[in-house]
Amino acid sequence: MACANCGCNDHALTTGVTYQLGTDACPAGEACDQILASECVVYSGDKLVDFPLEDGERVEITLKKLIMYHLDSAALFGSNGIHAPYNVESFKITDTTIDIEWDAVANVSDYTVSIAPATTGVYVDETVANNVTKHSFINLAPETAYYIKVIANGIGVNYSSLVISVTTAKS
């Protein structure tokens, strides 16, 4: 199996490239010649006025923005400085918990984090403070697929992220 993060050391790109393609320098000794993770590829160029693409932005975030633009351009651009959270990701999954994080959105009053079993699609919502960008969903069923979204709330406006699907681990 090839390295999952071959080509960079962390999601924030705070360190330089750690692994070289075509070598066996990956942490578990897998060959790196098959995978270059999208979080390691960044845009280098001018900011585009008509689309919120920033210099140094990870390509995977740009792809999420393009999908959001196609589905709901209002959520992408927002109003009063508030827009949908662009980058909702799971970062820790066990048999009964899913930890998520997202990029902060300016001017929000709070966030609504929502989870639904994929089998029912019925969301349970929790409100979290405007300075929070991580959340743990607990007491979940093992080996179950869930849909998760984060909604940025402001005065008179709210914008939802794209929905991600995450499956809890086997117990």
Residue type, 129: A
CATH architecture observed for domain 81-167: Sandwich (2.60)
Question: Mean per-residue pLDDT for 104-119?
Answer: 96
pLDDT at 40 over 90: no
Q: Residues spanned by CATH 2.60.40.10 within the chain? A: 81-167
Provide the pLDDT for residue 41: 63
Pure H helices in 38-127: 59-71, 73-77
pLDDT at 152 over 90: yes
Provide the CA 15 distance to its chain's centre, in angstroms.
20
What does the block give as tokens for 96? 């009964």
Map residue 134 onto helix, strand or coil.
Answer: strand
With beta carbons less than 8 A apart as the criterion, state whether 120 and 95 touch.
no
Distance CA 117, CA 145 (A): 6
pLDDT at 166 over 90: yes
C-alpha distance from residue 23 to each of 2, 94, 128, 159 (Å): 11, 31, 44, 43
Distance CA 117, CA 148 (A): 9
Distance CA 89, CA 86 (A): 10
Provide the pLDDT for residue 57: 74
With beta carbons less than 8 A apart as the criterion, state whether 142 and 168 touch.
yes
With beta carbons less than 8 A apart as the criterion, state whether 59 and 42 touch.
yes
Provide the pLDDT for residue 19: 44
Taking residue 111's Cβ as centre, other Cβ atoms within 10 Å add up to: 25
Question: Mean per-residue pLDDT for 63-92?
Answer: 85
Provide the pLDDT for residue 63: 81
Per-residue pLDDT of 52-69, as tens digits, reads 777 777 777 788 888 888
Provide the pLDDT for residue 111: 98
Taking residue 35's Cβ as centre, other Cβ atoms within 10 Å add up to: 19
